[in-house]
Structure formats: C-alpha cells, structure tokens
Amino acid sequence: MKTFDRPSLKTLRNDLEAALKAVEDTHGITLEMGNMRFSASTCRFTVNAGIGSQNSEEKGLAKKAEFTRDCWMYDLKAEDFGKTFLWGRSQQPYVICGLNHRGKKYNVCATNTKGEEYRFAAEDVQRLIQKSPAPKTSKPKVEEPKSGLTLQPTPGLFKAGSKSEAIYHYIIANPDATKGAIAKALDTHYSVVDRVWKKVK
C-alpha cells in the first residue's frame, strides 16, 4: 500500500473489523469502527467499545450511523438509508438498511417485505434508487352523482356555477355524507357547507 485512497481504506477497514471481531469474542464486548479521516499519507480511525450485545433497536441505530458515516465510500448519500428500490423480474421492493464492508462487490444491505436481508452491488443500488418512482400522494376522492340521478337547477336558491350550488348537488347525490366529509371532498369551509345544508335538509 503506497497511498491512502477509497479502495485501499476499504480493504484496510475490512481487515481491522475482522481483527476487532476476534477481540469481541475473546472479551465479550462490542467494538465498532468509528469515524475515519485520511490524507494521502496518513489515516485515523476511532473505535467505540460497549459492554454486552446490542438489542435489535440498538443494532438498527448502529447500522444507520455506520451508513451515514461510510456511505461516501460507495458513492451513496446519507439520505439513501431507508430508500426503496425495485429488483428482479417481479420488481420486488427492497429497503436499504446498511452496509457490508467485508464484501468485495456486494456492499449494500437491503431487506424485502418479509424482513429477509440481502446484499447488492453499490452501483446497482445507485441506479435503481434513481429509477424508483416517487411515492404517490393521495387526493381526496370526490364522489360522482349516483347512477340515474339527474341534477336539477336550483332557481332562487343558489347562484348558477357557485360553490353553494356545487355543495347542493353533492348533498343530493350523496345523502348519507356528513358535513365534514362534504367540506373535505369539495375543499371548502365547513360553515359554507352548513349554510347550504340548512336550506336543503
């Protein structure tokens, strides 16, 4: 090793973690590689030690902290942790849950809908999270008038084309709807619905 760069530091980290695993087993403690700083000729690691084994919540937090700290080694970003991508012919969703430093190629860990963890190549994950569609936001569903119902004009009651007339038609078409549901469906204030309601009911 003649200089410190990403590939050489990845190899060095793998060897150090393997050595730390032996120390963990010998002394019954947990050891975790911490932050890393380096230049072309020097590098510095920190090691965090703990008594006993971690529970599932602690392990999850530790994996997230490790991902945030080391994701740059695989051209990923801290905010990629927890992102979903689709994989395979069936386009099964996987959620990014950590890193695997010891792998030569498959360095990103992700779980499927059954909670099973798999490892993926970082370049594949980069490509797939960019392709994955953004989550859809649902809009309030406005019910259409029931089949066969003819809406009659409302002479003298409401101005044609007004919000009040739209509320009137909605009430006629959906007699079981509550005032709150009507206000939400038509994106209007509850008091406006109440005013029309009193004239119709």
**pLDDT number for residue 146:** 44
Residues 76 and 129 in one domain: yes
Q: Which two tokens stand for residue 71?
A: 């994701």
| Pairing outcome for strands 108-111 and 117-120 | antiparallel
Confidence of residue 124 (pLDDT cuts 50, 70, 90): very high
Residues 143-169 have a mean pLDDT of 60
67, part of any domain: no
62, part of any domain: no
Query: Given a cut of 90, is residue 81 above it in pLDDT?
Result: yes
60, part of any domain: no
CA pseudo-torsion sign 140, 144, 146, 151:
positive
Residues 6+ apart with CB under 8 A from 137: none
User: Is 100 in contact with 119 (CB distance < 8 Å)?
Assistant: yes
Q: CB-hemisphere CA count at 13 Å for 27?
A: 12
59, part of any domain: no
Query: At 94, phi and psi to the nearest 5?
Result: -130, 145
Query: Given a cut of 80, is residue 43 above it in pLDDT?
Result: yes
Q: Which two tokens stand for residue 171?
A: 């009430």
Domain residue limits at 167: 142-201
Residues 128 and 147 in one domain: no
Q: Is 110 left (phi over 0), alpha (psi -120 to 50) or beta?
A: beta
* Count of Cβ atoms closer than 10 Å to residue 158 Cβ: 19
- pLDDT tens digit sequence for 45-55: 878 777 765 56
User: Is 83 in contact with 94 (CB distance < 8 Å)?
Assistant: no
Instruction: Name residue, tokens 């970082």.
Output: 122
Residues 18-23 have a mean pLDDT of 83
Task: Tell me the three state secondary structure of residue 2.
Answer: coil
Nearest-CA neighbor of 191 among 172, 174, 167, 170?
Answer: 167
User: Does the pTM of the predicted model rise above 0.75?
Assistant: no
85, part of any domain: yes
Domain closes at, from 92, 113, 135: 135
User: Is 83 in contact with 69 (CB distance < 8 Å)?
Assistant: no
Residue 108 is given by DSSP the state E
Residues 106 and 79 in one domain: yes
- pLDDT tens digit sequence for 83-104: 999 998 888 999 999 998 877 8
